Structure 1
């Protein structure tokens, strides 16, 4: 496992608008708002900004999920051009929907253009109709993800002519440039099921849980540690966590009963509990009534909470 400071990143608003988390103002927001929020995260020392991945939402799910899901490569490339330091995370790319050479071309170009800021977050996916429409096997999505990770490791590695020979994908003698700027693009595996945790432990450089409450994290982190030790894997590994919704200071409006709010030192003390569990990076989300308030919350967290995290 990696050690050191507790890093913090954020899933961007606007680019995905599921009713589970989107604020009402996001429906009318646009690229300018998204760029300003990304710049605020960049100024505030956030480790990464993240973008989701869905190709098309079926009618049966549109009411809950909405159909607003920006393309992660296009969005992160746009934001790379208006930021300088912050890393660019796909959280998560459903890589089994696409041929690995296509994904490698897109993400290698993004890493090249951004100067090596990509973190490739991957997941199995959960929308059957997406797989059917794109000709991918939903029932084999776990196996597709396993092989896609191996194929992407090859295709995003140093070799201009990568080689992969698998069950679903095979390629050799096909060159791709530009190559990624990073010698090794970090792959963080998303998901909280037992297969996802095992996949993260054995194939990933990090783990992105999906909504696990605090009390369930220590057991899963212990499982990650055990699986990697049993496999003899000693490489650095980044354990992530999604925090509760946050509001820095005392709110004057109803931010919801699950939201952590209050003075910066108290918020930092609560968040330090994640580090005590073995978490290395937390993904934060702020309650807000508009883009200006979200930018203010981002700045307040960076200035007043983050210095107390470590």
Structure 2
């Protein structure tokens, strides 16, 4: 079982220290979330129904976060890569459809190259309509836009030169060098049917958000159905889940469900992060 560290509840001032200590303790990866801006009025956070690429039926008002620190996600991970040698760097999830695909493709190519092949590309459609409005991007088309971005990025990362003519983006032939390593995998995040279809069409992996051992089996069954419709199976995917574990038996239970990587928060608060990580690693048997 691979263990990743979520930075979602960690102050950026501790990112570097936690990454270095995580590598020393034997954690496999660190995962940083992504936003361009936090508008003063965030609107609501959707808890998706059948299609998270459209506004959900159930929307919960989100507290304002406009004054919280934000950084360019892949740039910050490049900085962390320069201080480490083995730990991997992932995004859950990068809003690829908010960027032109040339920009998104270059960002992850750079991370992968400077880290020596340690990039994990986690992408998603996004939920914050006001963020899309601030960037001048139509929120209603974010699903189709993301699908087109994925297709373009995959070509840029593998083909000698690429020309593209699509619904949202068009450009004449361009070169794109150097190519990222084959180890750079594309993980699709999301819980909706649209996200599952996207995993089945394009994904090397799936990122499940905030699951328990009890909630995950039903979602994996949905994923299996989407994969079957696309002529694929879960054997072809790396399953990463944001969850929790307190003892070695918990890791065994996640693995028995088919989880390859557990992304967790191994600390209670920023101020005690290092001590908590060490206690967690001892209790879970990390490195044994």
Specify the TM-score bucket, using the shorter chain as the normaliser.
0.7 to 0.9
Contact 2:123/2:188 (8 A) holds in 1: yes
Contact 1:202/1:227 (8 A) holds in 2: no
Query: Which residue number corresponds to residue 278 of structure 2?
Result: 299
Q: Tell me which of 263, 271, 282 is aligned to 1:283.
A: 263
Query: Whole-Å Cα distance in 2 between the matches of residues 308 and 217 of structure 1?
Result: 26
TM-score (norm 1): 0.78
- If each structure's strand is expressed as a fraction of its own residues, which one has the higher value? 2
**1:178 Cα deviation (Å)?**
3.0
What is the aligned-residue RMSD (CA, Å)?
2.3
Task: Name the count of aligned residue pairs.
Answer: 267
String of CA shifts for 1:100-143, please: whole Å, max 9, x gaps: 00111121111111111111100101111221222211001111
Q: Which secondary structure state, in structure 1, belongs to the residue aligned with residue 206 of structure 2?
A: strand
**1:166 Cα deviation (Å)?**
2.2
Q: Where do 5+ consecutive residues of structure 2 fail to align?
A: 43-61
Query: Which residue number corresponds to residue 257 of structure 1?
Result: none
Query: Whole-Å Cα distance in 1 between the matches of residues 28 and 127 of structure 2?
Result: 27
Alignment of 1:102 onto 2:103: yes
String of CA shifts for 1:135-189, please: whole Å, max 9, x gaps: 21100111111111111111122x3422433211233411122321x13620001
Query: Which residue number corresponds to residue 195 of structure 2?
Result: 196
Query: Which residue number corresponds to residue 216 of structure 2?
Result: 217
Contact 1:288/1:294 (8 A) holds in 2: yes
String of CA shifts for 1:217-261, please: whole Å, max 9, x gaps: 1122122223323322357311121113x6xxxxxxxxxxxxx5x
Alignment of 1:243 onto 2:243: yes
Alignment of 1:1-310 (within 5 A): 6-12=1-7, 22=9, 26=11, 30=13, 33-61=14-42, 63-66=63-66, 67-157=68-158, 159-180=159-180, 182-183=181-182, 185-233=184-232, 236-244=236-244, 267-291=247-271, 293-307=272-286
Runs ≥4 residues deviating over 6 A: none
Query: Whole-Å Cα distance in 2 between the matches of residues 170 and 290 of structure 1?
Result: 44
Change (3 A) 1:171 1:211: same
Q: Which secondary structure state, in structure 2, belongs to the residue aligned with residue 9 of structure 1?
A: strand
Q: Where do 5+ consecutive residues of structure 1 fail to align?
A: 1-5, 17-21, 247-259, 261-266
**1:81 Cα deviation (Å)?**
0.4
Contact 1:52/1:70 (8 A) holds in 2: no
TM-score (norm 2): 0.84
Change (3 A) 1:289 1:208: closer
